Amino acid sequence: MPPVDLGGDEEADGQRRRVATLRGVDLEIRPEEFVVLLGPSGSGKTTLLNLLARLFEAEGEIRLDGVPVRELSLASLRGALGYVPQDSFLFSETYRANVGFGAEHELDDERLAELTDLVRMTDEVAQFPHGFDQRIGERGVTLSGGQRQRTCIARALAREPAVLILDDALSAVDTETESELVRNLRGAGAGRTVLIAAHRLSTVMHADQVIVLREGRIEARGTHEELLRQPGWYSENWARQQAQGELAEL
């Protein structure tokens, strides 16, 4: 992915001038890699993921399998992506219909069970009075925040995307379930590339590549072990989160 600049506007002394949300972002994500984007709020994680899906147009160039995304039709581009934002929409339909929405073929019980297990929802669905045919209410009102997020991830996986994008879509999932789910995603689907924007550093344990964004720039990149050896935001926040976890266990 060559350098990307995404312009925005800010006002100074009554004049609007163009500023870049992302500046000089230059990275390559190889097929089948599991990549985690980290950084404080406002660092540009969501913007970078939105650029890949062409929800915004970049001033630089983004390529998918060597082809500039501008040259791909939106239908073919987004057909290759499974995108799950933090606040995904669920319909006042059955669990089955919500997971199968957008899938090329109707999902049978075997495939539904497989997807439900992948996202660690098997126990919860087993408690539904009507199982897969349980109506979950408008916007998934009968589900917890973590259950809604996992259901939306199952829906994205049902489309068999070449690239799975999770934009802070694990924020409402507890740490233990998140670790198991990420491990499942790591091994699910030959040839699939996975990009996750996250806040909890525990997500990175299974990553091939970790990218740390600060103020719209790449501050660091590497594996978990490599970043721990470097001074900066990553190692400092890892130590802080580990300390908080140890205190919580006391």
State pLDDT tens for residues 70-107. 898 988 988 899 999 888 789 889 999 999 998 888 89
What pLDDT, in 10s, does the model give residues 156-205?
999 999 999 999 898 888 888 888 898 888 877 668 999 999 877 778 87
Token pair 């790449």 is at which residue?
Answer: 218
Predicted pLDDT of residue 6: 37
**Angle in degrees, 0-180, between the axes of helices 145-158 and 109-118, rounded to the nearest 10:** 130
Question: Which pTM was predicted?
Answer: 0.86
The span from the CA of 94 to the CA of 66, in Å, is 39
**Average pLDDT for residues 224-233, to the nearest whole number?**
91
List the beta bridge partners of residue 91.
none
Instruction: Tell me if residue 111 falls in helix, strand or coil.
Output: helix
- Yes or no: say if 210 and 224 are a contact pair by the CB < 8 Å rule: yes
The pLDDT, as a whole number, for residue 248 is: 64
Give the pLDDT confidence of 5-48 residue by residue, as tens digits.
333 333 334 444 445 678 888 889 998 999 999 998 889 999 99
44, 204 contact by CB (below 8 A): no
State how far the Cα of 152 lies from the Cα of 158, in Å rounded to an integer: 10
Give the confidence band of 247 by pLDDT, cuts at 50, 70, 90: low
List the domains of the chain with CATH numbers: 30-80+162-250 (3.40.50.300), 87-160 (3.40.50.300)
pLDDT band at 250 (very low <50, low <70, confident <90, very high): low
The pair phi, psi for residue 20, each rounded to 5°, is -105, 130
- 4 compared with 33, residue with greater pLDDT: 33
Choice between 148 and 248, residue whose per-residue pLDDT is larger? 148
Return the minimum-mean-pLDDT range out of 31-35, 60-64, 130-134: 60-64
* Residue 69 pLDDT > 50: yes
**Cβ of 125: how many Cβ atoms within 10 Å?**
20
Span of 46-55, 180-189, 220-229 with lowest mean pLDDT: 180-189
pLDDT at 150 over 90: yes
